[in-house]
Amino acid sequence: MKVSALVPIYNTDSAHLREMMDSILNQTFKDFELLILNNSPDRKELEELVKSYNDSRIKYFENERNMGISASRNQLMDLASGEYLAVCDHDDISVPDRFARQVEFLDENQDAGVVSGWLEHFGKTNFITSYHPEENAQIKAHLIATGCILAHPAAMIRKSVLINNNIRYEEKYSPCEDYMLWCRLMEFTEFHNIQDVLLRYRNFDGNTSNRQKKRMKNKDFEVRLFVENKYPALYSRRAEFLIFSRSFKLFGFIPILRYQRKRARAKLSLFYIIPLLRIKDRFSPYEKRLKTKGC
């Protein structure tokens, strides 16, 4: 088995669950299993919905009670037989060639353990996260300096990297358990972001990021403290690799403007290639912060 798609569900909206499952089962890449773990066993309609597909690639599991998101992801990891683990949240929609593109990248880049991509947010707000950097050094610098720059719900992970280094999700950092997972993996593997939308992310009031904003902020701070202490050399040189990029598209697909910043230099380009504006500061925001701290 090449890919195991791992989906913990809890009080999921039936319509959202169906859309998620359809997007996985209709992937252009076919060598996968879809593991669904139900943490709300009283919601019998969810079990009925999953089993109504009658698809041999689907494996359904059920807990007697809600085990929490980290324990559920770890449980699914243990049940998975795939070489690669595709993270799939219960209400998001994967684009048809997501698995194919991620498998191709991991097959061709043995040093890489995690590959993700951009998100297209829809629902409460509509936009594309096109600012996630592509290369390993840039991603790690951003993980240290700016936060979780790898989209977890669009990620595919090489299972052996987790197993060989005894790395798992940690409930104490929830709802930032994904950010902590990336920080644990930093010293063992390389990261990559495909520069294209791989997932349509459903943005609504029921999202964890909307329901747990205060706790997420506190746990994000705890992870940053960990990573600053764990990787002091990379932390001290993070500004050398930091690149911020934001793209703007007309109707969601016609490229219009791109803003890029690296250290003290910034530029604005029309149609991504025609320079409109260049800015050079004496110090970048990161360098200014270093000067203030006396580093």
pLDDT value of position 244 = 58
Q: Tell me how far the alpha carbon of residue 138 is from its chain's centroid.
A: 15
DSSP helix/strand/coil, 41? coil
Calpha distance 152→156 (Å, rounded) = 8
pLDDT value of position 247 = 65
Q: Which residue has the tokens 């297209």?
A: 120
Cα Rg for the chain, rounded, in angstroms? Answer: 20
CA distances from 130 to 89, 116, 295 (A): 20, 12, 32
Residue from 123, 181, 121 nearest 155 by CA: 181
Residue from 59, 55, 47 nearest 17 by CA: 47
pLDDT value of position 76 = 98
- Residue 18's identity, in one-letter code, is R
DSSP helix/strand/coil, 36? strand
pLDDT value of position 164 = 98
Whole-model pTM: value is 0.81
pLDDT value of position 138 = 86
pLDDT value of position 285 = 40
Q: What is the mean pLDDT of each run of 10 residues along the chain (295 residues)?
A: 97 96 98 97 94 96 93 97 97 97 98 97 86 89 86 98 98 95 96 96 70 83 89 73 63 66 62 66 39 31
pLDDT value of position 292 = 32
pLDDT value of position 246 = 62
pLDDT value of position 239 = 61
